[in-house]
Structure 1
Amino acid sequence: MDFDMLGLAPRLVAKLSELGLTDPTPIQKQAIPHAMNGRDVMGLAQTGTGKTAAFGLPMLDALLKNGSKPAAKSARALILAPTRELAKQIADNLSAFSEGTHLKTVLVVGGAGIVGQMRRLEKGTSILVATPGRLIDLLDRGAVRLDMTEFLVLDEADQMLDLGFIHALRKIAPLLPKERQTMLFSATMPKQMAELAESFLTNAIRVQVNPPGQAADKIEQSVHYVAKAVKTDLLIELLDGHRDEMALVFGRTKHGMEKLSRQLAAKGFSVAAIHGNKSQGQRDRAIKDFREGKTKILVATDVAARGIDIPGVRYVYNYELPNVPENYVHRIGRTARAGADGMAVALCAPDEMGDMRDIEKVLKGPIPVASGRPWAPSEEEKPKPRGGRGGPRRHGGGQKPGNTASKPPRHKRRRKPAGARNAA
């Protein structure tokens, strides 16, 4: 099957051919026919499987066939994405697919000037790609209206839930017309997804390519059980083995990843960092340089876990394991894109064993061990119990059972001479 057989407009098929896209991916083969029939679609597929085209192509086809001009401040189609990087990637792809047509795509995300975004929306747009927070800002200012929106897409819906956007989505839902087509795409199916689907979808058909949480077959995974103090040394040693290949390194905190990027730069690596403390311009430049091969290593927090679609990424390192086990799947999904092979390497310290067990539970199997051994429960770093340095406080104000004499307060006790203390 090729795109022409799916019934898409000839000009779309021709543009796809120009872009080198001729064979639909499995999620595209399953989702596009239902979407073109006007059905609501719930699509479950990993990152990197072509979901943008799966929802974007049937939507563009419908917008081209109904060539009505958008009203002022309105959007005929709305696409919501959890991160700025992913929203920009979607907007870029849709602009490429619809190049040469009358369709206009507007991107609105946080971290960019809102006044300019308001101006771009004044005459209305065919497609609006937005992050939920910035869309709420624009709605509150009366800069955009959703009562004429014909198509709605929620992409990476599970991460929108992870990032706490459920309240924003509840606020957006009543502003949309009931008569619309909705598509929801996600890599995993958390319990809260049922509520989201019920709020937005009507009689949806479910399409699925890989079970939720399952990593891509072409990703070779491994884990190093290593003490936290020597993680950086091991990472440098591993990266040194493939300096000319592109690698993504994921960690938990903004400050930690900024520090790590400086440490790697000091060792001569070509590296950039993206995290929440970087401006949107800095993040865009870092991804652009990484995509063009000007930098070989990109250090990131989960803010970018689903916003980077770069086929050349060969290695993904989990320098720190994610707190949410499903995010491990999203992170390593940055490699093995477009059918290529990839390597996913995790570094697990003692205090991360609980996270590792949760990840392996989601994967439904153990990750092969490259070095070290799984930390035993006694080796895991656990918070010390309350009630003092040595353990839980005894009943009776610290007295031993059977001892009725109270000890004098610490500041009134006489200290032994140094010699006596040393002898003891």
Structure 2
Amino acid sequence: MTIFDNMVPALAGALAARGYETLTAVQTAVLAPEADGVDLLVSAQTGSGKTVAFGIAIAPTLLDGRERFTPGAAPSAVIIAPTRELAIQVRREFEWLYAGTGARIASCVGGMDMRKERRALDDGADIVVGTPGRLRDHITRGSLDISGLRAVVLDEADEMLDLGFREDLEFILAAAPQERRTLLFSATVPPQIAQLAKRFQRDALRITAAGESRQHDDIEYRTILVAPSDRENAIINSLLYFDAPSTMVFCSTREAVKHLAARLANRGFHVVALSGELSQAERNNALQAMRDGRARVCVATDVAARGIDLPNLDLVIHADLPTNPDTLLHRSGRTGRAGRKGVCALIVPFHRRGSAARLLKIAKLQAETQSAPGPAEIDARNHERMLAELAGIEAAAEDEAAQVAELLAAHSPETLALAWLRQQATLRPAAEELSDGPTPAFDAAKAERPDNRFENGVWFSISVGRKHRAEPRWLLPLICKAGRVTKREIGSIRIFDTDSHFEVISERADAFARSVEEQGTLEKGVTITRTGSAPAPDHGAKPKKPHRKGQFDPSEKRPFKKKGFEKAPFDKPPFDKSRGEKSGFDKPRGDKPWSDKSKGDWSKGDGSAKKFKPKKKPKSGE
């Protein structure tokens, strides 16, 4: 008995050609006899091989005993995915999986040309893969006929509900034939997923694949402790140390992705960036570069990388710590997929060791703690790789043998080996120097006075000032990050109209200048330059106004006042009637006598209330 016994022969041949020797837990579960021909509610984590699982699960239903699909027939299956990248990825998987069945596979996703998708549907498609919104558009416009559907698959159903696609999903499922099969795949089964299954599935078989702990057994977790100023250098050294064929680096913001990708590109890495601000064409080109091997590092945000499956992705680096355990598992699940081994490295600043430990504890993961690899460790690792490569070299061919003999005749073996070593060194970026350990805690009793520590400090200028609303509270983190220093190594900060000046401790000034020069222009075009001397204290200062009472002289005796009630000479003189007309408060307010209208006119009569006289009723006929 083999793993392909209960499988459609065409799909079994495709898996064998791909080198499949074993199936994952979820793939084995959907091939069980009790799962044949029924609706399925499958709980499986990312990286468990569920794309192949629902591909082989619906094949008997779609082919119905035939070996190939009937040309010109209406679509037999619709696969619904939450994101464009995941939908395109599913289509690629189905293309090789269903290659032997003659299936025509079309994709309908947002951001792509809808006219081309309509032409592909008009030409005939047996399996349609798409996102909920675009599939609904094609159904309402009449370009997608779902009257002949035999199966509907919801991939990552929990994410689709989180993204607000519930209405679109309900529309598609309600429009599909009642006798179809419905397969619902989800990482978790919250109440809303259970309600959706109860409404649109018929006696669904519940399948729970291996838990999260087993799914992540193929991932080796490492916590790399670094100084906050060495975070980017630690990422560079980690890439050189592990030397993975394909690596994904996760950042928390788009700006961080853009900055880190530019830094890695400047250091000689083949890198692409993936963030939400890119167009669909740019995203596709970036992913294709990773698949082709033209790029080996992908710097991405969490949202942009959702559902992405890259081949040979052996290393995941968390440049910024995840905010919650679910994000940690989602990021890490990009590697160690379908039985492959992978490494997940968390870059943790010294002051965030506690946060990282709590995150791993909640996620029920064990991680090995280590310091960031230094140049010596990276050189030793590269030496091992070179020896392994030389041990695996085959014998020279005829055309190569002549060239080898010519080289050996002209040069000694030592010279040739040295030339090869130097050539290998030029192919790799150089490792970065890192701090020895965590910055010691500040001790007020032992600390030097600031003016003594910065007695020989070096001054730098940064191209933001008062006009840019510069403040020390946001200038300090920017300076520390650019120069890879701590705030205790930054002295005075003086802000002027168009620029600002700050002082760096003399022991770190040269390293600060080198770091700034490597990075070049900072975010939003900000630049830092070395001035060498302190700015003039009267830079842009306004002349002081004279004191209105004169400058106070402590040696001068104060004048003695006899009476405290005497008026000072600068007080206003009393009003003199002879000097002008009467003041306003002596003027009469009017010719009429005062009266309180709110209580009647008391100046007339005896003050008794007026007799009430009812209004006359209108006579009839008026």
Contact 2:40 2:207 in 1 (8 A): yes
How far apart in 2 are the matches of 1:337 and 1:268? 28
Contact 2:104 2:124 in 1 (8 A): no
Mapping of residues 117-266 of structure 1, within 5 Å: 117-212=117-212, 215-224=215-224, 230-243=230-243, 245-266=245-266
How far apart in 2 are the matches of 1:352 and 1:179? 55
- Percent sequence identity is 36
How far apart in 1 are the matches of 2:285 and 2:294? 11
Shift of the 187–355 alpha-carbon distance from structure 1 to 2, 3 Å rule, reads farther
Cα offsets for 1:152-196 (capped at 9, x unmatched): 111122222333323332332322222211111223344433233
- Deviation of 1:78 after TM superposition, in Å, equals 0.8
How far apart in 2 are the matches of 1:171 and 1:45? 25
1:29 aligns with 2:20: no
- Provide the residue aligned with 1:280 in structure 2: 280
Contact 1:188 1:326 in 2 (8 A): no
- Provide the residue aligned with 1:402 in structure 2: none
CA RMSD of aligned residues (A): 3.1
Q: TM-score, normalised by structure 2?
A: 0.54
Cα offsets for 1:380-409 (capped at 9, x unmatched): xxxxxxxxxxxxxxxxxxxxxxxxxxxxxx
How far apart in 2 are the matches of 1:167 and 1:268? 47
How far apart in 2 are the matches of 1:342 and 1:97? 25
- Provide the residue aligned with 2:505 in structure 1: none
- Deviation of 1:106 after TM superposition, in Å, equals 0.7
Cα offsets for 1:75-132 (capped at 9, x unmatched): 3211111222221221112121221433211111122111110111125421111112
Shift of the 168–106 alpha-carbon distance from structure 1 to 2, 3 Å rule, reads same
- Provide the residue aligned with 2:374 in structure 1: none
How far apart in 2 are the matches of 1:353 and 1:294? 38
- Provide the residue aligned with 2:57 in structure 1: 58
What amino acid maps onto 1:252 in structure 2?
S
How far apart in 1 are the matches of 2:164 and 2:29? 30
Contact 1:220 1:344 in 2 (8 A): yes
Shift of the 290–161 alpha-carbon distance from structure 1 to 2, 3 Å rule, reads same
SS in 2 for 1:75: coil
What amino acid maps onto 1:55 in structure 2?
F
- Provide the residue aligned with 1:40 in structure 2: 39
SS in 2 for 1:194: helix
SS in 1 for 2:4: helix
- Provide the residue aligned with 2:579 in structure 1: none
Mapping of residues 93-108 of structure 1, within 5 Å: 93-108=93-108
Contact 1:243 1:269 in 2 (8 A): no
- Provide the residue aligned with 1:396 in structure 2: none
- Deviation of 1:55 after TM superposition, in Å, equals 0.8
User: Number of matched residues?
Assistant: 372
Cα offsets for 1:40-90 (capped at 9, x unmatched): 112222222221121111322322226675888x53211111222221221
1:325 aligns with 2:331: no
- Provide the residue aligned with 1:313 in structure 2: 313
Give ranges in structure 2 of 5+ residues lacking alignment.
Answer: 372-436, 439-546, 553-622
- Deviation of 1:13 after TM superposition, in Å, equals 2.1
Shift of the 194–325 alpha-carbon distance from structure 1 to 2, 3 Å rule, reads farther
How far apart in 1 are the matches of 2:360 and 2:166? 24
What amino acid maps onto 2:287 in structure 1?
I
- Provide the residue aligned with 2:113 in structure 1: 113
Relative contact order higher in (CA < 8 Å, ≥ 6 apart): 1
Contact 1:311 1:335 in 2 (8 A): no
How far apart in 1 are the matches of 2:192 and 2:322? 20
With 233-242 and 207-216 compared, the bigger mean Cα shift is at 207-216
How far apart in 2 are the matches of 1:147 and 1:253? 44
Larger Rg: 2
How far apart in 2 are the matches of 1:25 and 1:105? 25
How far apart in 1 are the matches of 2:166 and 2:273? 28
How far apart in 1 are the matches of 2:41 and 2:2? 22
Give ranges in structure 1 of 5+ residues lacking alignment.
Answer: 374-413, 420-424
- Deviation of 1:344 after TM superposition, in Å, equals 0.7
Cα offsets for 1:293-338 (capped at 9, x unmatched): 2211111223454543334212101222444532321221121234
What amino acid maps onto 1:125 in structure 2?
A
How far apart in 2 are the matches of 1:335 and 1:347? 17
Contact 1:311 1:336 in 2 (8 A): no
- Provide the residue aligned with 1:20 in structure 2: 19
